[in-house]
Chains A and B, each alone.
Chain A
Amino acid sequence: MNKGRYFEEISDAIVNLEEGRAVELAERAITGDMDVLEVIEKGFGTAINKIGKLWETGEYFLPELMLGGTIVQRAMDVLLPRLKAQGKAATFGKVLVATIEGDIHSIGKNIVATMLSANGFEVVDLGVDVPVERIIAQAIEQDVDAIGVSALLTTTMPGQKALVEAMVTKGVRDKFKVFLGGAAVNAEWVKHCGADGYAENAIDAVKLIKEALRGSSKGGK
């Protein structure tokens, strides 16, 4: 089989949002005993980037991005067992997301969570109105790579700072990267909190976390 052609086919299938074909192509990697990691990178990874480009140029919108991501996930379901069997990391990393205590705004956080898992991250979503202590305890228990906290209210934003402070006190600050989000969060606030970054929308959030975890996730991909 021509590998270059095969990767292109994968890419086409995903960009055209054809789930059946994408899964079929993933199965072919298993039956053909191919290098699964290479298939993920050159096939599915390229496809995700292409979809991202289409969003940047205004041809695709969020629903296509979401569906594209879901299709990649389905294909990954086929590939992951093989990867695990080879003892390799199966995701880009594990991210805990939550909306901070006192705040019930869920929409932005949910979109970020969905986009993260659609892009190959394992996501632990603690929901809304989550106290700092619980975020930290869960981050430790679930052994995540990063924490993403949403706060939409100026009255609840101090919770983001309290989170970082509590992590320092508990001596776990350098165990997890901390990313902030919510409509009023900006670079200045991130600095003030001592967090690792923020993003203004879900697509940038994925980029940010991907970039930050590159090579450093505990899965080690």
Chain B
Amino acid sequence: MSIRFQALDEQKVERILDAAKEILEGCGCNVMHPRALKLFRDAGATIEGDRAKIPRKLVERCIESAPKGFWIYDRNGNRAMHLSGKNSYYGTSTASPKTRDPFTGAIRETRIGDIELGARVADALSNIDYVMPMGTAQDVPAAAEELYEFRAVVTNTTKPVVFIGYTPDGVRAVHGMAAAVAGGEEQLHKRPFAISYPEPISPLVFPGDVVEKMLVAAELGMPQVPGSTVQPGTTAPVTLAGAVSQLVAEGLVSLSIVQLANPGAPCFLSGNLNIFDMDTTLMSIAAPEMSLGIAAQAEVARALGLPTWGLAGSTDSKLLDAQAGIESTFSILTQGLAGLNMIHDVGYIDMAMVCSPEMLVLGDEVIGMTRRLLKGIDVNDDTLATATIKAIGPGGNYLKSKHTLANYRSELWFPSLLTRKHANRWLKEGASDMGERIRTKIAEIAASHAVPALPATVIERLDETITSHQRRHVR
């Protein structure tokens, strides 16, 4: 593929990777987990208190044992995403305390119904490839939060799921639920469709429960995408080169923990970079440097052959306005051009505080445009169409040509929501703006998009798991 955006050249990738290893060797990281510290010590790291200084050799061995790309399947066991090279897949936003209700426009606390609807909308959108729970539901018992969320998602989409386990036991329980859906642990292991998302703390802190979540997933062989978040100027150097090296270093620690616990367990070299706004003193989720920095991080990961992670389709705007359109397009396009493997967070508004199905649908349209661009231009005898040009000649019309009929569907992209109607017809049909068309689409999906039901026995298993988990963990 020829149409690409590259944040770093080979030399810069080398320097950043070298700096990341230097950070781990010279500064090290805090790993607040005795067993993980022991794993590091036994593998040759220097341990003082919680601090682990990790030699290059150790990191390199862990990179070596990590799988270079892998397949993620859908709920039915079909291949869905090949996480390798520059294959890009887009997924939803997640975990926000609030939701923008697509039917009333109100911004209110997230409910489990919002997570169900988010998953169903995502299921219906052809450019959304995987689903995260769109919010943290405030109306279910906190003790089994992630279990309720997983149930809400998996019963409303067949697409792969990325979930946030709030506790190590929660990760274990969700793994059990995923196995029930897949038809057994072995099936799930062979065709994983659920990915865990643990979040270490920048700069360079690995809290005990986060590490434990990583170890649980590693030992279960469940794929994971560790995501610390650096905010240049606050939790990392303000210069992007420094912030990206630190982010790579943090990713390498997570990868090493996973590899030391279970060599060969699937894991991304991943992380998030968000811009802290020095004016408002709050965090943006849509800055240009965010896409630039995340692309750079991913390029380092890709140079090592490891799967990569992105963050796009979010806005700092509080509603679906021109700003939302600009910020969605900018990040989806640049990160698609950069070829990041799993790009999440399509659907955030208000600096990640609010998930919005409308923003998700908007993003779906932008991804459609982006994918058309990425497809590029095929140049061969048939697409050059010299013979057709000769046949039609000067002053002719290509509309009736067989060549047009044979090629227009694959060559041209058809918007589903952008309007290209004549102004008169648009007026007659209600003069809708993009937001109204998006809401109509959501209403249609809510009313008629059917997701195949899981067998009753599986649902029973899911509910049993939730009930017993809740009983054991009264929070």
Main secondary structure of the interface of B (DSSP, over half): loop
- When the two chains form their complex, are residues A203 and B281 in contact, meaning their CB atoms are under 8 A apart? yes
Enumerate B268-321 residues with CB–CB distance to A below 8 Å: 276, 278-283
B233 contacts across to A, CB distance below 8 A: 63
CB pair B109–A154 under 8 Å, yes or no, is yes
Asked whether, in the complex, the Cβ of A104 is within 8 Å of the Cβ of B207, the reply is yes
B316 to chain A, nearest CB (A): 12
State the main secondary structure of chain A at its contact with B.
loop
Question: Do B109 and A107 touch (CB < 8 A)?
Answer: no
Q: Which residues of B contact A63 (CB under 8 A)?
A: 233, 278
A111 touches B281 (CB 8 A): yes
Which of chain A's residues have a CB closer than 8 A to the CB of B465? none
- Taken together as a complex, chains A and B put the C-alpha atoms of A107 and B234 apart, in Å, by 7
Bound-state Cα–Cα, A183 to B285, Å: 14
Q: A104-B201, A104-B207, A107-B235 are in contact. Are A183 and B353 (CB under 8 A)?
A: yes
Which residues on the B side are within 8 Å of A62 (C-beta)? 278-279, 281
Q: Chain B, 421-456, contact with A by CB distance < 8 Å: what is the 0/1 string?
A: 000000000000000000000000000000000000
For B, the interface residue count at a CB cutoff of 8 angstroms equals 22
Check if B98 is an interface residue, CB within 8 A of chain A. yes
| Nearest-neighbor residue (CB-CB) of B202 within chain A | A107
A155 within 8 A of B: yes
Q: Give the residues from 51 to 107 in chain A that come closer than 8 angstroms, CB to CB, to chain B.
A: 55, 58, 61-63, 104, 106-107
Residues in B neighbouring A136, C-beta threshold 8 A: none
A184 touching B97, Cβ below 8 Å: yes
Given A154-B136, A184-B98, residue A201 in contact with residue B353 (CB < 8 A): no
Q: Mark A177-221, 1 if CB is under 8 A from B, else 0.
A: 000000110000000000000001111000000000000000000
CA distance A62 to B232 in the complex (A): 13
With A104-B201, A107-B235, A153-B97 known as contacts, the answer to whether A202 contacts B281 (CB < 8 A) is yes
Nearest CB in chain B: distance from A107 CB, A: 6
For residues 332 through 363 of chain B, which have their beta carbon under 8 Å from a beta carbon of chain A?
351, 353
Residues of chain A within 8 A (CB-CB) of B207 are 104
- Say yes or no: A61-B97 contact (C-beta < 8 A), given A104-B201, A184-B353: no
B residues in contact with A201, CB < 8 Å: 280-282
| Cα distance, A63 to B238, chains bound together (Å) | 11
Q: Does B142 contact A (CB under 8 A)?
A: yes
Are B231 and A107 touching (Cβ within 8 A)? yes
Interface string of B18-45 (1 = CB under 8 A from A): 0000000000000000000000000000
User: A interface, how many residues as a size bin?
Assistant: 10 to 19
Chain B residues positioned under 8 Å from A184 (CB to CB)? 97-98, 353
Interchain CB contact under 8 A, A155 and B281: no
Name the one of A58, A107, A183, A200 contacting B279, with C-beta atoms under 8 angstroms: A58
The answer to whether B323 has its CB under 8 Å from any CB of chain A is: no
- B138 interface residue per 8 A CB criterion: yes
CA distance A201 to B280 in the complex (A): 7
Take A104-B207, A154-B109, A154-B138 as given contacts and tell me if A61 and B231 are in contact as well, using a CB distance cutoff of 8 Å: no
A111 and B234 within 8 A (CB): yes
Residues of B within 8 A of A153 (CB): 97, 136
Contacts of B283 in A (CB 8 A): 107
- With a CB–CB cut-off of 8 A, which chain B residues contact A111? 234, 281
Of the listed residues B109, B276, B279, B281, the one surrounded by the most CB atoms of chain A closer than 10 A to its CB is B281
- Bound complex: CA A155 to CA B233 (Å): 28
Task: Among B142, B207, B353, find the residue whose CB has the most chain A CB atoms closer than 10 A.
Answer: B142
Q: In the docked arrangement, what's the CA distance between A203 and B278, Å?
A: 11
Closest beta carbon of chain B to A32's beta carbon, Å: 37
In Å, the complex CA distance between A58 and B277 comes to 12
Of chain B, the residue at the smallest CB distance from A156 is B142
B127-142 interface bits toward A, Cβ cutoff 8 Å, 1 = contact, 0 = none: 0000000001010001
Nearest A residue to B135 via CB reads: A154
Complex: A185 Cα to B75 Cα, angstroms: 38
Interface contact B280-A155, CB-CB below 8 Å = no
CB distance from A68 to the nearest CB of B (A): 13
Residue of A at shortest CB range from B229?
A107
Nearest CB of B to A115, in Å:
8
Complexed CA–CA distance, A201 and B98 (Å): 19
Q: Which of A132-159 contact B (CB under 8 A)?
A: 153-155
Q: Which residue of A lies closest to B207 (CB)?
A: A104
Q: Smallest Cβ distance from A126 to chain B, in angstroms?
A: 17
Within the complex, the shortest CB–CB distance from A118 to chain B, in Å, comes to 13
- Rounded to whole angstroms, the CA-CA distance of A140 and B272 in the bound complex is 40
Q: Which residues of A contact B280 (CB under 8 A)?
A: 201
User: For the complex, what is the distance from the CA of A107 to the CA of B201, rounded to whole Å?
Assistant: 10
Measured CB to CB, the closest approach of chain A to B133, in angstroms, equals 14
A107 to chain B: which residues have CB within 8 Å?
Answer: 231, 234-235, 276, 283
- Which 6 pairs show the lowest CB-CB distances between chains A and B? A61-B278, A154-B97, A62-B278, A201-B281, A202-B281, A184-B97
Question: Can you pick out 27 interface pairs between chain A and chain B where the beta carbons lie within 8 Å of each other?
Answer: A55-B279, A61-B278, A61-B279, A62-B278, A62-B279, A63-B233, A63-B278, A104-B201, A106-B201, A107-B234, A107-B276, A107-B283, A111-B234, A111-B281, A153-B136, A154-B97, A154-B109, A154-B136, A154-B138, A155-B136, A155-B145, A183-B282, A184-B98, A200-B282, A201-B280, A201-B282, A203-B281
| Additional 6 contacts, C-beta under 8 A, given A62-B279, A154-B138, A155-B142 | A62-B281, A106-B201, A107-B276, A111-B234, A155-B145, A184-B353
Please report A residues at the B interface, Cβ cutoff 8 Å: 55, 58, 61-63, 104, 106-107, 111, 153-155, 183-184, 200-203
